[in-house]
Amino acid sequence: MSTIDELFTNLRAAGRKALMPFITAGDPDVEFSASLLAELIRQGCHMCEVGIPYSDPIADGPVIQASYTRALDNRVRLEQILEMLADVTPKLNAPVVTMTSYAIISRQAEERYVDSIAEAGIAGIIAPDLPVEESARLAKICAARDISLIQLVTPTTPRERTLRIAETSTGFLYYVSVTGITGERTELPAELVDNVAWLREQTSLPICIGFGISDPEHVRMLAPVADGLIVGSAIVRRIAAGQDDPREAVLKDIGNYVSTLLSELSVA
């Protein structure tokens, strides 16, 4: 059983749902990223998603695109990120997964990349530009190392293809809430709850919803049908807004924000 499997088994047994923040590694630097991961878990978040900066965003909105640019401008490198994660993950007592372009994985070579993230204590890989038809080899490599290969389903994914993705994913299924890119939204699609409810009947795999989730109302709306909620742009925006502030103040602001979401999650 992988660490992600164990997490969701325990949460389901307790009738609880997961909050999974997303951060960009190296924005503004890897030292801050390490401190932020520790703060997020200290507040009670159950798992964290770390974005590996990439020059050609896949489904990222302007907030996360800008964070990738800042990190790359500061010359953050994959090796630095993995070194930071290797240092911090043993102290977190919570799984960390990476959001990674498959171009980065293939450039490193699949086995070498998976070995490196396993050594860094990372529990799973999300590669949003890896088609399910081409995922079998990477899935096999990940399985041999107890690394989850988490795949995405979108509102426009045909249902037959959705089932195939669910069958080949491990850890959890990432359900993209909206058609489009990442970013905070005031409203989510009315059909979202029904779509996820249908998917819940088709798979026993945990379902985590991401894209657009940013406020307590979203938590109240989605927690009944999801196993977890992923929050990214709202956190990354706070980092950008606090570039000139003391780092302790930025950490406190983000900690207070996720605490508000966790409070809603605990009563959902």
Two tokens, residue 13: 């047994």
Q: Is the pLDDT of residue 183 over 50?
A: no
Mean pLDDT over all residues of the chain?
90
pTM: 0.92
In the set 27, 49, 184, 227, the catalytic residue is 49
Q: How far is CA 241 from CA 86, 213, 254, in A?
A: 28, 19, 11
Sign of dihedral through CA atoms 114, 48, 38, 247?
positive
The predicted structure's pLDDT at residue 24: 96
The predicted structure's pLDDT at residue 189: 55
Q: Is the pLDDT of residue 99 over 70?
A: yes
Q: Is the pLDDT of residue 177 over 80?
A: no
The predicted structure's pLDDT at residue 185: 45
In this prediction, residues 30-57 reach a mean pLDDT of: 94
Q: What is the pLDDT of residues 60-93, one digit of tens each?
A: 667 888 999 999 999 999 999 999 999 999 999 9
Question: Do β-strands 48-51 and 207-210 pair in parallel, antiparallel, or remain unpaired?
Answer: unpaired
In the set 27, 39, 60, 184, the catalytic residue is 60
Q: Where are the alpha helices (DSSP H) in 44-123?
A: 62-73, 78-92, 102-108, 110-119
Catalytic annotation on 194? no
In this prediction, residues 24-29 reach a mean pLDDT of: 96
In this prediction, residues 101-108 reach a mean pLDDT of: 93
Catalytic annotation on 49? yes
| Lowest pLDDT segment from 52-61, 66-75, 223-232 | 52-61
- The residues spanned by each domain of the chain are 3-267
pLDDT band at 182 (very low <50, low <70, confident <90, very high): very low
128 compared with 177, residue with greater pLDDT:
128
The predicted structure's pLDDT at residue 60: 62
Two tokens, residue 25: 């590694």
The predicted structure's pLDDT at residue 153: 92
Domain 3-267 has CATH 3.20.20.70: yes
The predicted structure's pLDDT at residue 57: 64
CB atoms within 10 A of CB 134: 9
